[in-house]
Structure 1
Amino acid sequence: MSARWLVLSLLILVAVASAIGVVQSRQQHRDAFAQLSRLEQARDELNIEFDRLQLEIATLADAGRIEEQAKRRLGMHAPEQADTVVLTP
């Protein structure tokens, strides 16, 4: 009879250990999924920021804007035809 109790106790212990393992595995899965969601949200925010910066770069690199800034801030102007010299070899 003690062998039966030993086997039964062992089976109960294995079942409890298995249940604890399942619970722990599910919790790890939930944690990993939550981290994945946070990382995807961060990625989306970075993509939005990247797109905004690309638009800003395109705006700042516009030839008309650069010419206007050169005239206004630096006092530059396009040379007159008389100021242009063409060199021939």
Structure 2
Amino acid sequence: MGRLNILLLALVIYCAMQVVDFQHEARTLFVTLGSEQEAERQLDVAFTRLQLQQVTLAKGERVDEVARRELKMIPPQPGSIVFMPFNTSGGARE
């Protein structure tokens, strides 16, 4: 009976140590989850800022300003504009 008690005591101690180890691992994973969720929130905020910046930079007024200021572009002279007919049939006109 003594050997059985020692074997059961060893088994109980082993199980208790496994429980402590698993609880520690679960807490560590929970802390990691929290930090990863915070990183996700920060990435969402950065992505939203980038989307807003993209919309701002793509506005026609901004494009026109950059074209005039940095590229030194000017609007075409009225007499230099040529309009071409648009053929939607896909074939040559008869």
TM-score by length of 1: 0.87
Opposite residue 67 of structure 2, the aligned amino acid is A
Consecutive aligned runs of 4 or more in structure 1 exceeding 2 Å deviation: 86-89
List alignment gaps of at least 5 residues for structure 1.
Answer: none
The 5 A counterparts of 1:1-89 are 4-88=1-85
Report how far residue 70 of structure 1 moved.
0.8
Report how far residue 38 of structure 1 moved.
1.1
CA distance in 2: counterparts of 1:46 and 1:18, whole angstroms: 41
CA distance in 2: counterparts of 1:25 and 1:87, whole angstroms: 75
List alignment gaps of at least 5 residues for structure 2.
Answer: 86-92
> Alignment length, in residue pairs?
86
* Structure richer in helix, relative to its length: 1
Supply the RMSD in Å over aligned alpha carbons.
1.4
TM-score by length of 2: 0.83
